[in-house]
Structure 1
Amino acid sequence: MDDIEALRDFSRFYTQRLGLLGQSYLGSGLGVTEVRVLWELAYGDQGTARQIAERLGLDEGYLSRLLAGFEKKGWIAREPDPDDARCRRLILTEDGKALAAGHDKASRTAVGAFLGQMSPDARALLGEGLARVKQAFNPPQDVELKDLSPGDAGWIVERHGQLYARDEGYDASFEALVAEIMAEFIRSHDPARERGWIAWGGGRRLGSVFCVARSPDTAQLRLFFLEPEARGLGLGRKMLDACLTFAREKGYRELVLWTHESHQAACRLYDKAGFQRIGSRPMHEYGQDTVIIDYRIDL
């Protein structure tokens, strides 16, 4: 099944499971679009009909007819927009607010009953999956760098193994290397001079970076990784800067790293940040011929 059919299949699945195929939503007498517009008026940002059409991706003519029906039933009113007297802002009447609250309660009850059939583990899996789906459609806006927590190491090993196998053709020996690095860090790192960060956004992990000691004067950047959907957003530079700042604060005189020649985006990032290429080494590792590039920067 390709990506297109997978998304279509899921759409058919969830519309049936959540009762979206009936003539009216949850027996309300309103269609799904009408209920969604009502929710937007009750709980979304207030605005004009045009603004609501843009937010929901609706045809303005269709929305205008729908709103006319709402107005005729006494659910909405129009008032001057304080930011533009030429425009009329839509607001719910008391009847409209009561209707929206009733629909919201009925929807929560229905979804709660659906979730009540699932085990706690299944519900947790669903929540994580929904967060990932939203992340795929919407690039992360607010990203936080957090210290390493239980469970992070397993994710780092898993994602390195999966993506390097997919993108570089690496075998399981690379995943083993990452696991060894993580095990050593967890067992013996010095919190006063070494640190790992996990980038979080949209409720999920987006990347990792570590600063470890190679000598009293030299720090090494390790396991610098970004999920594909988080690349090209400036997050890589934010993580690199966090590592550089930490190394400077801890009194290191230089930061070193190695990467693969095929990682062109990472190489450009290091070049722009002021790192110097100090050598390259052709290698046969992880089942592939590769070229290792060594970098350093004075702190």
Structure 2
Amino acid sequence: MAIVQTIRKFNRTYTQRIGVLDESYLGTGRPLNVSRLLFEIGQSSGTTLRELRERLDLDSGYLTRLVSRLEREGLVQVTPDASDKRRRAVNLTEPGRAAVAELDDRSEKLASRLAEPLTPRQRQRLEEALATADLLVRASTVHLREVDPDDPAGHAALRRYYSELGQRFPTGFNPGTSAPEPGAHYVVATSDGESVAYGGIRPINAGGRKPAAEIKRMWVHPEWRGAGLGARMLRHLESLARSHGFTRIVLDTNSTLTEAIALYERAGYRRMERYNDNPYAELFFEKRLPART
């Protein structure tokens, strides 16, 4: 595949240019893996080892060894988390904060040197290309998993979803009318420990001879729209519905959610008559699902 060779070539070129292979990354005296972890610790006060492991997708033993090195160098301090003694929080020391500031400064200067020979138009093209590549690569590595209604990652996504609906609906939105439904299944998509998409299905009688699966609370983080994550979540929910024996799937939406409407129509959904009394629903869609083989 041409895309595979393009990615591999870019990886070789970029890693060489930014000094990934150097034992002392940017002249800091530490390799890239240790420097990257130090930078990540500096992004949020009181982050835990578990959060770092999930955010960076690192093996527990490997992460512990890296943190231990930073601890021996006096750059971080590991203590029991005040809210949960079973967890360990990692914080920068004063020398650690100075090291992060130095790393940040050297990284900025490296990026400036790479861009300096380019014309303004070339810089704009590079910025747009890198932003697109970053979004698409992150979207391709997003993890989708089924969760319980009270799952913390799911709750984080729902809070963002409800907040956005409140801003976009002319009459606002009352999440109190959206309690978990019996028989529902929920899916959350996460990237680097952050909830970036959410959706669910539930059984419902919607005018057919058999119960249909209804898609509920489908949401994609605004920064992730345009990367195909919405279509991926939709396909995942359809597959989940099929696995539970449904041959028809329905959904409702509001006319202000134009990007969602376009997504449903591209995926083969067709408009149908109203099937519920949801005060926020203005448009209704259905789709036939292929039978399980």
**Percent pairwise identity:** 30
Report the 3-state secondary structure (helix = DSSP H, G, I; strand = E; otherwise coil) of the residue aligned with 2:23.
Answer: coil
Question: Do 1:48 and 1:88's aligned partners in 2 also have CA atoms closer than 8 Å?
Answer: yes
Which residue in the other structure is 1:232 paired with? 231
Looking at structure 1, the residues matched to 132 and 252 of structure 2 have their Cα atoms a distance apart, in angstroms, of 23
Q: Gaps (5+ residues) in structure 2?
A: 141-159, 166-220, 235-250, 274-281, 286-293
Task: Indicate whether 1:268 and 2:269 are aligned.
Answer: yes
SS of alignment partner, residue 58 of structure 1: coil
1:231–1:48 Cα change, 3 Å: closer
Q: Shift of the alpha carbon at 1:115?
A: 1.1
Where structure 1 has 5 or more consecutive residues not aligned to the other structure, the ranges are 145-199, 207-226, 244-258, 277-299
Quote the residue 1:137 is aligned against: 137
Aligned pair count reads 185
Give TM-score, length-normalised by structure 1.
0.51
> What letter corresponds to residue 124 of structure 1 in structure 2?
Q
Q: 1:132-163 deviations in whole A, cap 9, x for unaligned?
A: 1122134499999xxxxxxxxxxxxxxxxxxx
- Alpha-carbon separation, structure 2, partners of 1:139 and 1:87: 29
Measured against aligned partners, the alpha-carbon deviations of 1:5-60 in whole angstroms (never above 9, x if no partner) come to: 22111111111122222222112111111010000111146422232122111221
Equivalent position amino acid for 1:131 in 2: A
Supply the distance in 2 between the matched residues of 1:17 and 1:238 (Cα, whole angstroms): 48
Secondary structure in 2 matching 1:232: helix
Distance (whole Å) between structure 2 residues aligned to residue 88 and residue 234 of structure 1: 34
Match in the other structure for 1:176: none
SS at match of 1:29: coil
1:146-195 Cα distance to aligned partner (Å, 9 max, x none): xxxxxxxxxxxxxxxxxxxxxxxxxxxxxxxxxxxxxxxxxxxxxxxxxx
Contact in 2 for aligned 1:26/1:106 (Cα 8 Å): yes
Alpha-carbon distance change, 238 to 15 in structure 1, aligned in 2, over 3 angstroms: farther
Higher mean C-alpha deviation, range 12-21 or range 87-96: 12-21
Other-structure match for 2:40: 40
Quote the residue 1:102 is aligned against: 102
Structure 1 pair 237/78, CA: closer, same or farther in 2 (3 Å)? same
CA offset digits 1:82-103 (Å, max 9, x no partner): 3312222010110111111111
State the partner residue of 1:76: 76
In the TM superposition, what is the alpha-carbon distance from 1:105 to its structure 2 partner? Answer: 0.6
**What CA distance in whole angstroms lies between the structure 2 residues aligned with 1:66 and 1:100?**
16
Q: Which amino acid aligns with 1:229?
A: G
TM-score by length of 2: 0.52
Q: Give me the CA root mean square deviation.
A: 3.9
**8 Å contact 1:80–1:87 — kept in the other structure?**
yes
3-state secondary structure, aligned to 1:30 = coil
Tell me which amino acid in the other structure corresponds to 2:79.
Answer: E
Instruction: Give 2:29's aligned residue.
Output: 29
